[in-house]
Amino acid sequence: MEILIFMLVMWYGGLFFQTFFLHRYSAHQSFTMSRFGEKLCYFLTWVFQGSNYLSAYGYGVMHRMHHAYADTEKDVHSPKYDGNLFAMMWRTKTTYSAITSKKMEVEDRFTRDVPEWPAFDRFARSWVSRLLWGTAYFAFFFTFATAWWQWIFLPMAWMMAPIHGAIINWFAHVYGYVNFKVGDTSKNFLPFDFLMMGESYHNNHHKHGNRANFGGVRWHEIDPTYLIMWVMDKLGMIHIKKLEVSVKRESFKKAA
């Protein structure tokens, strides 16, 4: 039972900070929060993603590039231009690392106002941090695993963020239904998103990128992350932007 609870916390905790902080805040800035709140989210992202920690800067910049170049040869992850799932994820990994390490030249339109905490990123992304988290996961399984099959979940814990990314970046461009005609292959992967906390409404998101609520187009499209954000907004913890701008490829073009 402890292993299953651990995996649920890892899955939904890491996923929440990926969609709430890295995606909706860093990449799309669909809401605002205090400087303290931002720093706290950095820390909690590290706690819940652990060995899979993703930089808000690296993720935000890369995701903006995905929207600008969706399903073209410049897309950082597209099933149309990668032969298989693993090739796509490897290209995503190398591009993300180059962006985060500042080894890749990126246009200003993709980096504008993206949050950045270089000192914390260096620590959280270091092999020391990743190995410590990985060892802690192993120790937890060693202590609480009561059957051989529970060990199957350990590699998932080590690779949780890439698994989350693969589900949306590959499967949500291949399988699902469409609410909007957009210039790419994005689809709504699940009619009721119990698995990915709203991320599965990918077609909705590609039509209205800056919209805080990824669901809400059809009656069954309930976005769990947005419900949490709505409560946080009412409590004054964040401020959801009321004027939401539709994000298409043109949205990150340079101003004339």
Residue 34 lies in a domain: yes
Residue 32 lies in a domain: yes
From the number of C-beta atoms within 10 Å of its C-beta (0-12, 13-18, 19+), residue 30 rates as buried
Residue 200 lies in a domain: no
CA 67/CA 65 separation, integer angstroms: 5
Residue 96 lies in a domain: yes
* Residue 19 · residue 199 · CB < 8 Å: yes
Angle at 201 between CA 200 and CA 206, to 5 degrees: 120
Q: How many domains does the chain have?
A: 1
Residue 249 lies in a domain: no
Residue 194 lies in a domain: no
Residue 248 lies in a domain: no
pLDDT digits (tens, 9 = 90+) for 29-58: 999 999 999 999 999 999 999 999 999 999
CA 26/CA 32 separation, integer angstroms: 10
pLDDT digits (tens, 9 = 90+) for 98-149: 999 999 999 999 999 999 999 999 999 999 999 999 999 999 999 999 999 9
* Residue 89 · residue 162 · CB < 8 Å: yes
pLDDT digits (tens, 9 = 90+) for 13-24: 999 999 999 999
Residue 233 lies in a domain: no
Domain region containing 146: 2-180
CB atoms within 10 A of CB 60: 26
Residue by residue, DSSP assigns 198-228 as TTTBHHHHHHSTT-S-S--SSTT---HHHHH
CB atoms within 10 A of CB 174: 12
pLDDT digits (tens, 9 = 90+) for 69-82: 999 989 988 898 88
Considering only CA atoms, which of 239, 240, 100, 87 is closest in space to residue 166? 87
